[in-house]
Amino acid sequence: MAHDIAALATELADMAAADHRSSIRANSDDPAEQLAWRRLTARHGDRLSEIMNEYGWPTAELVGEEAARAAWLIAQHADRQLDVQRRALQLMRQAVSEGSAGPRELAFLRDRTLVNEGRKQVYGTQIAGVKDGSPVPWPCEEPERMDELRAEVGIEPFDEYVAKFAMA
């Protein structure tokens, strides 16, 4: 079992590294690069689904910090696999309630899933576009409480968050 877990941790980390290397393709104007990105994220989403079926949510206790973060990243990028995102959200929510996953990452995954379902997000973590040079979030359920809700899960205020992208 320990060997299986070590192999799983390595596999998750490798998937996240491949995701990171090819994430530039997601916003490419080249249809071939966009297709390669979609295939990669779909393959990763399928594998994450298998992992969740076998192990539940891959927590840091199970696979280590790096691999747990990798699992979260893979779930975030499974945008065309809502079933995978919803299952990850459900399992991660349970892990957070048990203290074995972080509420910050859960908030990002919850917003991403809500936006992919065509619903309003909660924390304003998903950016719809740029208006007058400033990033604009997808619609939020309670925009006036966005920073308060962000603070509850350890996310910096929206203005500080988007300032990081402005410098990039």
Asked which of 29-38, 68-77, 111-120, 149-158 is least confident by mean pLDDT, the reply is 29-38
The stretch 20-38 carries a mean pLDDT of 85
Please check whether residue 121 lies inside any domain of the structure.
Answer: no
Quick one: 88 and 148 in the same domain? no
Quick one: 101 and 19 in the same domain? yes
Cα–Cα distances in angstroms (integers) from residue 100 to residues 61, 62, 64, 73, in the given order: 7, 9, 11, 17
Segments forming the whole domain that contains residue 162: 127-167
| Percentage of the residues of the chain whose pLDDT score is greater than 70 | 97
Tokens of 29: 């104007």
Cα–Cα distances in angstroms (integers) from residue 38 to residues 23, 24, 48, in the given order: 10, 12, 15
Residue 167 has pLDDT above 60, yes or no: no
The stretch 114-123 carries a mean pLDDT of 98
Quick one: 39 and 96 in the same domain? yes
Quick one: 55 and 29 in the same domain? yes
Quick one: 112 and 144 in the same domain? no
Please give the residue that has the higher pLDDT: either 21 or 157. Answer: 157
Please check whether residue 122 lies inside any domain of the structure.
Answer: no
C-alpha 137/C-alpha 107 separation (Å) is: 14
Is the pTM here over 0.85, yes or no?
A: yes
- Supply the pLDDT for residue 2: 73
C-alpha 160/C-alpha 45 separation (Å) is: 31
Tokens of 76: 């975030």
C-alpha 35/C-alpha 51 separation (Å) is: 24
Please check whether residue 86 lies inside any domain of the structure.
Answer: yes
